[in-house]
Structure 1
C-alpha cells in the first residue's frame, strides 16, 4: 500500500496519520478543533529505537560501542524512525497499521509496527519492535505536541503526580539522582511506577488524559505554542542506563491511550 496520508474517523473525532512523514499522527481533531500543533516536525511522532537524548550519541551493546548521528549536539535525539517513510499495512475506518524496517544508521535489523486506533472519545497508539536476528537494546515512546491554546479561553493546564523526577544536568540528561518533583517550566523526565497518568485541561473546552502502563514520561512546556507529554519505556539516555533488550523471542511493546471529554463552558 502507498504511504499517503490516512484519515480515520469515529464520532466527531478525526485523526490524520502520515506514514510518509515518520509514521506520525499529523492531526487530531475533536468536534472540529485541532489538538496537535501543525507542521512537518510536529503532530505526534514515534520515538524508536530510543527516546530523548543519548549521551554523545553513543551506547554500549554486546560489548561494542555504537555511534549514532549527533543530531542535537552533543547528543543524538529521538531515534531514527521519525526521519523515514513507513509502510501502510492495513487501514479500516477507525484503525491504521504501519510498519517500518530499521535501517542505517541503526546498526541492527528489526521491524517496528505501530497501530493507530481511534474511538469516539479516545486514541490508542501501540508500538512494537521485533527482531529475527541480533538482540539489541531499544526504547519506545511518543512525542505529541499539544496546542497550548485551542483558539479561545485560557491556555492548557498540565496536572500529574509523579513518584520522583530525574534530576536534569546542564547537558539535559538525567544525572542519576532522583529528586522530588519540581514546579515547571519543564523539560524533564518523571517516574510513575503505577503507570503514566497526566491530565491536560483546556478550561471550559476539553480535558484529555494521557495514560500508559509504562512508568516514564517526559513533560516539556518551555514553548509558547505547545506542550509535550511523552510516555516512554525508559528515561533519556536509557539505552545506557535502563536498557530493554529486544530479542528474537521477546519483542518490546508499549501502548498509550489518550481519552478526552468535553467540559462545560463558563
Structure 2
C-alpha cells in the first residue's frame, strides 16, 4: 500500500488527497476554482481520535487518566491522525479509502478508515474507528479550511443552531448552553437535527456542509479562511460527552459537502 497523493475526478470537480500528510484533502477544485486554503497545515484534515481541545491534555479512560501531548499548550488539540502517514487501501476514479493505525501516544491500538467519494456536485467523507482489543472513548470530525474569498465577495456563513456552547477563557466549553451569538466565532454549536451549514460566495458558489452528527465548530477568526467542522462531540468531549469504541461497535461518522453555482 502506498501513501502517494490521490486525485479524484467527477465532472469538473477534482479532489486531491494527501495520505502522507495526515490523510488530509489537500485541494478541492470546482471548475478550476480552489475552495480550500493551501498549505501543509490546511486543506481539510481528519480530527481523530478526538476533536478540538482536550483540557490539559487529560481524559478519563475507564478508571485511568490518560495524558496526551500538549501540542496547543496548555491543551492537546485535534487528535493524532493528522500528524501521521496514512495508507491507501483502495482507489477508483472518484473514490478512495485510506487507513491509519492509531499508535502511541494514543494508548489503544485501533484502525481508522476514511472513505472519500466525489460526485459532480458533492464530496462525501466517512470515517470509522475500529478496535479488536480494549474499548475506549473517541471522537471523529473534519477540519476544512474554506477560502474566505474565491476572487469575488467574501463568503457568507448561514446556519440555525439550537444552542451555542458557552466558551470559557480557555476556549473550551464550560458545559453551559447559551443562545447563539453573532460572530466572529471559534465556537461549538448544537444542531440536534444534524449539522446543516451553508457557505455562500455571492455570485459564484453555494456549498452546504451536512452531517447526521449534532455538533459543529465554526471558526472564522482568521482572515484567509473559514472553518466549518462537523464532529461527533464538542471540544473536550472525551471528558464531557464520551463515545465508546468497542470490539463490537465501531465509531462511525460522515459528512457531505454539496455545491451549486449561483
- TM-score bucket of the superposed structures, by smaller chain: over 0.9
Separation in 2, partners of 1:235, 1:176: 10
Whether 1:163 and 2:162 are equivalent positions in the alignment is yes
Runs of 4+ in 1 over 3 A off after TM superposition: none
* Superimposed CA distance per residue, residues 69-88 of structure 1 (whole angstroms, 9 cap, x where no aligned partner): 00111000000000000000
Q: CA deviation at 1:211?
A: 0.0
Q: Which residue of 1 aligns with 2:191?
A: 192
Separation in 2, partners of 1:112, 1:141: 12
1:29-44 map, 5 Å: 29-44=29-44
Q: CA deviation at 1:230?
A: 0.1
Separation in 2, partners of 1:171, 1:206: 35
* Superimposed CA distance per residue, residues 213-233 of structure 1 (whole angstroms, 9 cap, x where no aligned partner): 000000000000000000000
1:96-135 map, 5 Å: 96-135=96-135
Q: Which residue of 1 aligns with 2:46?
A: 46
The 3-state SS of whatever aligns with 1:82 is: helix
Q: Which residue of 2 aligns with 1:94?
A: 94
Q: Which residue of 2 aligns with 1:66?
A: 66
The 3-state SS of whatever aligns with 2:153 is: coil
Q: Which 5+ residue runs of structure 1 have no aligned equivalent?
A: none
The 3-state SS of whatever aligns with 2:72 is: coil
Separation in 2, partners of 1:69, 1:172: 18
Whether 1:183 and 2:188 are equivalent positions in the alignment is no
Q: Which residue of 2 aligns with 1:202?
A: 201
Whether 1:218 and 2:217 are equivalent positions in the alignment is yes
Q: TM-score, normalised by structure 1?
A: 0.98
The 3-state SS of whatever aligns with 2:239 is: helix
Separation in 2, partners of 1:135, 1:25: 29
Q: Which residue of 1 aligns with 2:27?
A: 27
* Superimposed CA distance per residue, residues 175-221 of structure 1 (whole angstroms, 9 cap, x where no aligned partner): 11100000000000000000000000000000000000000000000
Separation in 2, partners of 1:78, 1:202: 27
Q: What is the number of residues matched between the two proteins?
A: 262
Separation in 2, partners of 1:113, 1:8: 17
The 3-state SS of whatever aligns with 1:158 is: strand
CA RMSD of aligned residues (A): 0.3
